[in-house]
Copies of this chain bind each other. A is one copy, B any other.
């Protein structure tokens, strides 16, 4: 049997658009003689639909949409994900289901057994786990159909007490099909392929795997749908970060001659972030971005990524120098905008700052310049950028990096503003790597921006290193604490200075209130700030 893998970019809740894409792929599969076309998990609604699943109207619309789609499955069958009602009196109200559409109707429903409920996943919030197992039959093939996490209880740290494929193997299926919504982080591609291969090694039948592609606010889906033959060789590998479509023949599962090389971490992050920006704008119906360009590396990298995502003509940079901005900062910023051929304008903030200072002069009388005054500068910039955003329909891009977000080195309602944080999951050391990657063929970002010591330029001769340790050390401690959840004892045992460790962990924990109010952050690591990391604000742990 020929089976098509349809790797699509869905829009959450946009039933009309998702349905059109799905029906087009069914027609294409039919024209190419496929007996079956496979779509991703919860394709009908887009993933993750989150609390829309609590609205009967939303779930009903999913049901109506799949009925209309089934009407197109008269010759070619389809497997597609959607939420369905749990008919039982007890338990959660929904299942996370895979429908087999054939002969114009829903001919079978399979429900997800293993419901991920960690990091960014909340599936137990909505869904009842499946407890009964049977394969599906199609064109003489017996198919073990599972949904995403159902294949993942195969590693060294089993999170669940059951393994759905063990149950399905009793029926001796010919083939595994898994429909997935497996979000990207820079190690996920290798991890995912390893898990899929472990399944083939264990069950010794071919595996077809169809993933989502595209960004859903902070979550980036990288695609990379695959077919593996019964000895675990890759037969077909769909594109990364793009929609794709392929057909395999189950009678002819020859290995690929040239498997796609896995790009290195920085290239993966680069490509993922561009997709993240592009989809955020497309799906919200916006075309133009604005950002504050300081001459520093964070805004420089953000600008280049945005220009690559949206077109350089669609990103307006605003240079907002203060009396503490150095001359080279303005020049570096201008040089970058010119290198890209991207529009920019300059609005000095001195007069605005002075107006604030004047109105506050009585309240602040006799007190020295301090953080309040630094923040007034950052917030004046924030007001100007938002004014332009409101007037002309730009979305403001936030340029903070993960290191700053972690330790609270940024001004709430100032440089922490924005509709989307591009680099909020990228540590400063990786921002430097991204800049070098961008410059690999030619100087796009002025080398001076990359080589000068980082500075917020909010007081004379300020440097990041005045208040923070060197980023190489800071970022390693942050990585161990945030991604790997190491505690102070473990970090000190690793050789980090005790005073430094305690100071940094305290900074991370006491700045939870700032991160609570920041824009969604494009997620490229296994533990990003945002929906996947849920911390109390009022607490006193390591602080």
Query: In the docked arrangement, what's the CA distance between A345 and B540, Å?
Result: 34
Q: Which residue of B lies closest to A389 (CB)?
A: B372
Contacts of A387 in B (CB 8 A): 356, 360, 372-373, 375-376
- In the complex, chain B residues whose CB is within 8 Å of the CB of A373: 387
Q: Which of A245-303 contact B (CB under 8 A)?
A: 279-280, 283-284
Given A117-B124, A539-B13, the answer on whether A92 and B159 have CB atoms closer than 8 Å is yes
- Chain B nearest CB: distance from A497 CB in Å? 18
Instruction: List B contacts of A48 (CB < 8 A).
Output: 536
Restricting to A438-491, which residues have a CB under 8 Å from any CB of B? 485-490
Judge whether A519 and B520 touch: CB under 8 Å.
no
Distance in angstroms between the alpha carbons of A444 and B51 in the assembled complex: 41
Number of copies: 2
Contacts of A390 in B (CB 8 A): 370-372, 375
A50 touches B535 (CB 8 A): yes
A121 → chain B closest CB, angstroms = 9
* Contact (Cβ within 8 A) A351 B355: yes
B391 touches A217 (CB 8 A): no
A53-96 residues at the B interface, CB under 8 angstroms:
54-58, 60, 88-92
B364 lies within 8 A of A391 (CB):
yes
Q: Given the complex, which residues of B lie within 8 Å of A487, measured CB to CB?
A: 55-58, 60
> A122 — nearest CB in chain B belongs to which residue?
B534
Query: Are B90 and A534 touching (Cβ within 8 A)?
Result: no
CB distance from A477 to the nearest CB of B (A): 14
In the complex formed, the residue of B with least CB distance to A218 is B537
CB distance from A456 to the nearest CB of B (A): 15
Are A12 and B375 in contact, with the CB atoms below 8 A? no
Question: Which residues of B are found within 8 Å of A486, using beta-carbon distances?
Answer: 57
Docked complex Cα distance between A386 and B379 (Å): 9
Query: Which residues in window 476-522 of A have CB below 8 A to B?
Result: 485-490, 513, 516-520
Which residue in B117, B216, B375, B541 is a CB contact (below 8 Å) of A13?
A: B541
Q: Does A384 have its Cβ within 8 Å of any Cβ on chain B?
A: yes
List 5 other contacts, CB 8 Å, given A50-B536, A279-B538, A517-B519: A91-B158, A283-B538, A284-B538, A360-B387, A379-B386
